[in-house]
């Protein structure tokens, strides 16, 4: 699942929710306003048609490789202002943009690690190793990636949809989001200094 995260303090959101729910509501509104333009731009980068005929919708089983469908990919590029769980480094995200569809995530980052695609093992290879190509064509991975738009680098990573939109926002979205977080934090402490907090009902 491809995503862009704005890291923040989950404890702040918990405090806002418990003691100043109006500030949390305003923060979520301002975070949404910051991220919506990036989501819209990212959706606009989704090709109307599959980059390869073999990746388009087909009648047989789609279980092994998700099909490319413009509508599915576009509508599954979304944002959320829910606080994420802390990662192994102790960070959580205040808000993030997510590419929820499998095909969308593949289009987003394919070739990021290797421009030649996954190592080829062929259809007769045994085992269940992941990250390898069992195509009958040993050059399938490289040909697949060559049919995609080039990767765009941003401060959050490299990709073709979310990361490209993030790069083209030139820091505006992140600046607006961080400003909203700073504003909520400052207002929370200002209120804390002048009144006794009680948990919201």
In a domain, 198, yes or no: no
- Cβ(108)–Cβ(3) below 8 Å: no
Q: pTM (2 decimals)?
A: 0.81
Q: Is the pLDDT of residue 135 over 80?
A: no
In a domain, 199, yes or no: no
The whole domain housing 7 covers 2-122+132-192
Q: Which of 43, 161, 162 has its CA nearest to residue 95? A: 162
pLDDT tens digits for range 37-48: 999 999 999 999
User: When comparing pLDDT for 78 and 4, which is higher?
Assistant: 78
- Would residue 117 be called left, alpha or beta, if left means φ above 0 and alpha means ψ between -120 and 50 degrees? left
**Helix ranges restricted to H, 122-196:** 140-146, 162-168, 172-194
Q: What is the pLDDT of residue 84?
A: 86
Count up the domains in the chain and report the number.
1
- Cβ(16)–Cβ(24) below 8 Å: yes
Q: Is the pLDDT of residue 15 over 90?
A: no
In a domain, 84, yes or no: yes
Where is mean pLDDT largest: 86-100, 143-157, 173-187? 173-187
Range with lowest mean pLDDT among 48-57, 120-129, 152-161? 120-129
Q: Which of 174, 182, 201, 178 has its CA nearest to residue 23? A: 182
Q: Is the pLDDT of residue 16 over 50?
A: yes
Give the mean pLDDT of the chain.
Answer: 83
In a domain, 26, yes or no: yes
pLDDT tens digits for range 61-112: 444 678 899 999 999 999 999 988 887 877 788 899 999 999 999 999 988 8
Q: What is the pLDDT of residue 62?
A: 45
User: When comparing pLDDT for 65 and 129, which is higher?
Assistant: 65
Q: What's the pLDDT band for 162 if we cut at 50, 70, 90? A: very high
Q: What percent of the chain has pLDDT over 70?
A: 74
Q: What is the pLDDT of residue 92?
A: 81
In a domain, 146, yes or no: yes
In a domain, 200, yes or no: no
User: When comparing pLDDT for 161 and 144, which is higher?
Assistant: 161
In a domain, 109, yes or no: yes
Q: What is the pLDDT of residue 186?
A: 92
User: When comparing pLDDT for 181 and 1, which is higher?
Assistant: 181
Average pLDDT over residues 150-160: 93
In a domain, 54, yes or no: yes
């Amino acid at each position: 699942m491809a995503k862009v995260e704005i890291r923040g303090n989950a404890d702040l959101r918990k405090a806002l929710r418990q003691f100043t729910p109006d500030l949390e509501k305003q923060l979520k509104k301002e975070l949404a306003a910051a991220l919506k333009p990036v989501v819209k731009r990212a959706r606009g980068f989704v090709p109307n048609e599959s980059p390869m005929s073999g990746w388009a919708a087909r009648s047989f089983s789609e279980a092994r490789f998700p099909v490319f469908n413009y509508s599915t990919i576009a509508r599954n590029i979304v944002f959320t202002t829910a606080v994420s769980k802390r990662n192994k480094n102790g960070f959580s995200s205040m808000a993030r943009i997510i590419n929820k569809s499998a095909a969308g995530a593949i289009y987003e980052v394919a070739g990021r690690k290797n421009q030649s695609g996954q190592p080829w093992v062929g259809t007769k290879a045994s085992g269940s190793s992941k990250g390898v190509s069992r195509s009958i064509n040993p050059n399938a991975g490289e040909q697949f990636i060559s049919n995609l738009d080039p990767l765009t680098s941003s401060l959050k990573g490299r990709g073709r949809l979310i990361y490209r939109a993030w790069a083209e926002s030139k820091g505006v979205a992140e600046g607006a989001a961080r400003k909203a977080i700073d504003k909520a934090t400052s207002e929370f402490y200002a209120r804390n200094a002048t009144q006794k907090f009680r948990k919201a009902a």
